[in-house]
């Protein structure tokens, strides 16, 4: 079945609701499992109770962060490095510590278990609440492991997130042990996914000289910082290049830039129709490349308060019709928050010691570059349905 494009767009804005969970005392293994689920639900609700006010408050502890990271790591370790996922589902790109925007995105596009989600990586750095972003997504993963899938991005590695905000956030709010626990978990995350045998998904881009998907599936765990042109390095760092026709070294220092011809060859080799990736800011939240054989998805609106970009969610229906939900950027800047947490005393400025906005990075970790959006694309992939819906932006 070929994928199809349905570009009806919407951007509803709703408030985050707060559910209450009462105490529970388990008496046997079944009850203990139920009690664990209730504790996870209570933690989820505490995170969702955060509001984008001047002094939003969350109640999470260092012990909870370490425990959730260890549990999530065990779940990831039992998953394949290359996931195979069936639609219907939604695909999301970078979130980069923008927790309140993540709340908006989930409210707009749906959340587990009612909506199956695939995130393409880059949960930490840049934004002010990387801990909350990772904790919420990990809690959802523990509660609904088959309904949310989290791929690894290039910022889910210590040599990058030690520089661009996550290390500072963890140490200023909790401890180095929290930072280490999260990175140990990141090292076990899956690296790519295939949706309904037709859509290949990863954070960065395709792999040069890859002739079997088993080369991805058989990557060992844990995977730490990739070397320049390893499979993992290319999957998490590479980018499409409209000016190139072949492969050229990436200015980021890891991976490649690839033109439309290598992309088409990769897709034909494995009988894919589409590459879905993230890794770069795009003005409308999504952008096509190479006659709609590649789409970039970015899900952090008003990135670092220095861009005016929208966020996007790509919905994939059972018949592989793909549509896009657009979340407009907020009108106000993201609040500079102070976060209270149990057992530590006082408050902590979560922005202290963090790197600033998306300044140019030295290798590795170059900042995404916004691209000019495409509003009219005349050519279509060979397998795409000839009749396409009109594009309407709410």
| pTM (predicted TM-score) | 0.81
**What is the token pair recorded at 41?**
């639900």
Confidence of residue 33 (pLDDT cuts 50, 70, 90): low
CA distances from 163 to 27, 156, 205, 246, 289 (A): 46, 12, 23, 32, 31
Number of domains in the chain: 1
236 versus 364: the higher-pLDDT residue is 236
The answer to whether position 138 is within a domain reads yes
**What is the spatial distance between Cα 282 and Cα 238, in angstroms, rounded to a whole number?**
16
The answer to whether position 380 is within a domain reads no
CATH of the domain at 149: 3.60.21.10
Active site annotation includes 291: no
Query: For the packed helices 166-173 and 130-143, what is the interaxial angle rounded to 10 degrees?
Result: 90
The answer to whether position 108 is within a domain reads yes
* pLDDT attached to residue 385: 30
Confidence of residue 333 (pLDDT cuts 50, 70, 90): low
Beta-bridge mates of residue 4: 321
375 versus 52: the higher-pLDDT residue is 52
**What is the token pair recorded at 332?**
């106000």
Domain assignment of residue 117, given as a range: 4-20+27-349
The answer to whether position 365 is within a domain reads no
Beta-bridge mates of residue 200: 194, 275
User: Given 155, 203, 279, 334, which residue is catalytic?
Assistant: 155
The answer to whether position 387 is within a domain reads no
The pLDDT tens digits for 208-264 are 999 999 999 999 999 987 777 899 999 999 989 988 788 788 777 777 889 999 999
**What is the spatial distance between Cα 232 and Cα 191, in angstroms, rounded to a whole number?**
7
Confidence of residue 159 (pLDDT cuts 50, 70, 90): very high
Please, what's the largest Cα pairwise distance for the chain? 64
The set of residues, in sequence order, having a beta carbon less than 8 Å from that of 302 and lying 6+ positions away, is 101, 308, 309, 329, 330, 333, 334
Beta-bridge mates of residue 347: 340
**What is the spatial distance between Cα 180 and Cα 23, in angstroms, rounded to a whole number?**
31
What residue has token string 């840049």? Answer: 126
The answer to whether position 385 is within a domain reads no
CA triple 52-93-239, angle to 5 deg: 135
The answer to whether position 53 is within a domain reads yes
The set of residues, in sequence order, having a beta carbon less than 8 Å from that of 104 and lying 6+ positions away, is 13, 301, 327, 330
Q: Which residue, among 277, 348, 284, has the nearest Cα to 128 in the 3D structure?
A: 348
**What is the token pair recorded at 220?**
């060992």
The answer to whether position 359 is within a domain reads no
Q: Judge contact between 95 and 133, C-beta under 8 A.
A: yes
The percentage of residues in the chain with a pLDDT greater than 70, rounded to a whole number, is 75
Containing H/E element for 200?
A: strand 199-201
The pLDDT tens digits for 165-195 are 999 999 999 999 999 999 999 999 999 999 9
3-state secondary structure 31-87: HHHHHHHHHHHHHHHHHHCCCCCCCCCCCCCHHHHHHHHHHHHHHHHCCCCEEEECC
């Amino acid at each position: 079945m070929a994928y199809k494009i349905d570009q009806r767009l919407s951007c509803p804005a709703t408030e985050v609701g707060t559910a209450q969970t009462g105490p529970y005392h388990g008496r046997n293994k079944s009850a203990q499992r139920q009690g664990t689920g209730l504790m996870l639900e209570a933690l989820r609700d505490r995170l969702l109770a955060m509001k984008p006010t001047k002094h939003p408050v969350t109640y999470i502890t260092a012990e909870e962060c370490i425990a959730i990271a260890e549990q999530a790591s065990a779940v990831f370790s039992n998953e394949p490095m290359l996931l195979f996922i069936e639609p219907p589902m939604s695909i999301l790109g970078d979130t980069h510590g923008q927790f309140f925007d993540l709340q908006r995105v989930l409210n707009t596009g749906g959340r587990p278990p009612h909506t199956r989600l695939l995130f393409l990586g880059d949960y930490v750095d840049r934004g002010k609440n990387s801990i909350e972003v990772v904790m919420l997504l990990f809690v959802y993963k523990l509660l609904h492991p088959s309904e949310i899938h989290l791929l690894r991005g290039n910022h889910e590695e210590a040599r990058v997130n030690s520089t661009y905000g996550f290390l500072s956030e963890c140490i200023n709010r909790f401890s180095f042990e929290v930072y280490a626990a999260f990175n140990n978990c990141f090292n076990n995350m899956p690296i790519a996914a295939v949706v309904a045998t037709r859509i290949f998904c990863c954070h960065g881009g395709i792999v040069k000289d890859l002739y079997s998907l088993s080369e991805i599936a058989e990557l060992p765990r844990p995977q730490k910082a990739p070397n320049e042109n390893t499979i993992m390095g290319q999957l998490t760092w590479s980018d499409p290049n409209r000016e190139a026709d072949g492969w050229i070294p990436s200015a980021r220092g890891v991976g490649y830039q690839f033109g439309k011809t290598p992309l088409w060859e990769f897709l034909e080799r494995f009988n894919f129709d589409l590459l879905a990736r993230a890794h770069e800011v795009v003005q409308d939240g999504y952008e096509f490349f190479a006659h709609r054989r590649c789409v970039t998805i970015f899900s952090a609106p008003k990135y670092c308060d220095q861009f005016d970009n929208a966020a996007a969610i790509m919905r994939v229906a059972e018949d592989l019709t793909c549509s896009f939900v657009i979340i407009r950027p907020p009108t106000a800047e993201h609040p500079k928050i102070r976060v209270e947490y149990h057992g530590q005393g006082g408050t902590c400025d979560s922005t202290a010691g963090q790197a600033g906005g998306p300044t140019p990075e030295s290798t590795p970790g170059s900042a995404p570059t916004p691209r000019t959006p495409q509003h009219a694309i005349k050519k279509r992939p060979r397998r795409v349905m000839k009749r396409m819906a009109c594009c309407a932006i709410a």
